[in-house]
Every structure is written in structure tokens, then in C-alpha cells.
Structure 1
Amino acid sequence: MSAADIPNKKSPLSPNQMSPKMRFLIPSPIVTRRTRTSSLSRSAADNPQKTGVIAEFCKKRGHGFITPDESPDRLFVHVSDVEGEYVPMAGDHVTYKECPIPPKRSKVQAVEVIITHLAPGTKHHRWEDPDG
């Protein structure tokens, strides 16, 4: 099945204007703030706030990972779930809530991420700063 067979309200391109690579749509496994259902949002809001440290974050790719204080397992964080004016950097201390990742909901990702302490000795950029 190709994109021409599926009505896509998000794409302003007609199937004839799409490149061959764009014609096959695979749903993204990443749950962003925009695509999260209201029930998942409520579930995350009801979870306790936790703390951790940014292990890595790439503004260009739009995601990163948090190492929780109570576990060595890293949690995925999407750019849409980061609050505040600064781009997270490795070593920043954060608070977050956990949200289950569909379809099995056996894994969780970090949402409502707030930087509480900036990593010392690191130049922090604001979201509106050009990449550099």
C-alpha cells in the first residue's frame, strides 16, 4: 500500500509530487506531545515526578536520553516534551514524568522534562539560537 492509497491530511503534496521514497508511509513509533492521546497524557500527569541526568541530547535529531537517578536504564525524551528556554546538554539535571509507550505499554519515555540544574562548564544554547 502506498501513500497514494491512503488519504493524508498532513501532507500538502499530491501523490504525483511526492518522491518515490515518500510514497510508502510507515507509522512512527515515537510518541510526541502532538500525537499522544488524552488518556496517555492523563496517565503521565498522574505519575510521580522523578529526577535524572541528561545522558545525551541532539537538537538536530530532536531527541535524547535521560539516565534516571534510581536506575541505570536510559529513557527516551522527544524534543516536544522538553520545557524551558534551554536545549538540554549532557550532564544537566532534570525532573520528568514517565509516559508508557504504545502499543504494548511495557516501556516508558520521559515527558514534562524540566532542566533544574545546568551542567557546569557547558555552554548552553537557547532553542531559537542557530545550530552551531
Structure 2
Amino acid sequence: MNLSLFSLPLPLSRRHTAAGSHTDDMSSDQAEPPLSQQLRSPRSPVLPSLFYPHEGGRSWERGGIVPGDLPSPLPTKRTRTYSAAARATLGPLYKGTCKCFSRSQGHGFIIPKKGGEDIFVHISDIEGEYVPVEGDEVTYKICAIPPKNLKYQAVEVVLTHLAPGTKHETWSGQIMHS
């Protein structure tokens, strides 16, 4: 059996010497740190209290972005990093009202109960069976919108009270009147 068919090539950073041993392309003076140090997450210089703006505060306006501008690309639940999702899950629960939501465009805005700039919400972050409409009361958590993290979006959005006198559609397309 010819083993050369089953052998895998070595990474480009290693090469064989004439004696049969291998060397790294990097200088031998630079020792590689132990594996336990390589796998550790870097410590964040940010204090946990700075992860979340105070409800009703306007700290997300510090970037000077015009209200109503959509982030580009649109951040979704699927593209969110694990650490951003974890910070959002551990964060405080906010209350607000749906200002607008477009199922066809896949996004909308929430008016925070305690004031401040409208909060962007993506369709992938809405929990439950109903499509939100103007006037629906919601609870949500927030997550910074990358790459500058100057504005926030609503995540884990739950409709807590459907706006009275409006028709609501389920995600499957059924119409309900409230």
C-alpha cells in the first residue's frame, strides 16, 4: 500500500531539513506561547456598567448619526457575534412601543418608553407568533450595532400587548383582529 497517497501536506509554516527534522519559518529566537495562553480570550478594558446605556438616556446619540438612518449592512441575529449576543442576554429588559414595522423590508423601529432615540429592530429578533404593528407594546433588550457600536438595536423583542382595534398577522399569514 502506497502511504504517500494518504499523507497530508504539512502547513506552509514548517519545512523539513536535510536531517529529517522540521523547522519553523519564524526565527528560533521567538518561542511560541503555551497553548493555554493562546486560547484565552483577551480581557476587555470596558467596565460592565458601560455595556448598556441608561434607559431614557440619550447615550446612543453620541455618534451624531441622523435618527432613522438604517445600519448597513443590516445586523441580524444570524450575523451577531457570540459575545454580543451574550452581553445582550445578560442586559436589562426595556419597554417600548412599536413605531413602525415592515414585514416586507424586514425591519422597523421601537419608541423607548422612557424616551430617547427610536431603536432599530430586525425581523430576526422578534419572538412570538405575531408581526408587530404600530402601537404594540413590547419588551426588548439591546445590542450595539457594529462596527462603531455607537447606536443600538432591539433584540429578544416580545410583544406584550397588542394594539387595540388593529388587525394582526401571524408569521404564517393568518389575520387576527384585536
- Report the TM-score when normalising by structure 1: 0.76
| Offset, 1:29 | 2.1
**Structure 2 residue ranges without an equivalent (≥5):** 1-71
Query: Could you tell me the percent identity over the aligned residues?
Result: 54
Which has the higher relative contact order, 1 or 2, with Cα contacts under 8 A spaced 6 or more apart? 1
Match for residue 69 of structure 1 among 91, 107, 113: 113
Count residues with an aligned counterpart.
104
Q: How large is the RMSD of aligned CA atoms in angstroms?
A: 1.4
| Counterpart mapping for 1:51-62 below 5 A | 51-62=95-106
Query: Which stretch of the first structure deviates more once superposed, 52-61 or 63-72?
Result: 63-72
1:130 CA drift (Å): 7.1
Separation in 1, partners of 2:73, 2:115: 24
User: Secondary structure at the residue paired with 2:167?
Assistant: coil
Residue type at the aligned position of 2:131: V
Deviations, residues 82-114 of structure 1 (Å, cap 9, x unaligned)? 000000000000000000011111110000000
Mapped to 2, the partners of 1:43 and 1:107 lie a distance apart of 15
* Corresponding letter in the other structure for 1:76: F
Partner residue of 2:159?
115
Gaps in structure 1 of 5+ consecutive residues: 1-27
User: Within 1, Cα distance between the matches of 2:86 and 2:116?
Assistant: 26
Q: Distance in 2 between matches of 1:48 and 1:57?
A: 23
Alpha-carbon distance in 1 for matches of 2:122, 2:81: 16
Query: Counterpart of 1:105?
Result: 149
Q: Which residue of 2 aligns with 1:23?
A: none
CA separation in 2, counterparts of 1:57 and 1:36? 21
- Structure 1 CA distance for aligned equivalents of residues 151 and 139 of structure 2: 18
CA distance in 2 between counterparts of 1:42 and 1:61 reads 27
Aligned to 1:79: 123
Opposite residue 100 of structure 2, the aligned amino acid is E
Quote the Cα distance in structure 1 between the aligned partners of 2:89 and 2:73: 21
Structure 1 residue 49: deviation in Å? Answer: 0.3
Read off the aligned partner of 1:49 and give its amino acid letter: L
In the alignment, the residues of structure 1 paired with residue 147 and residue 96 of structure 2 have an alpha-carbon distance, to the nearest angstrom, of 25
Counterpart AA for 1:64: G
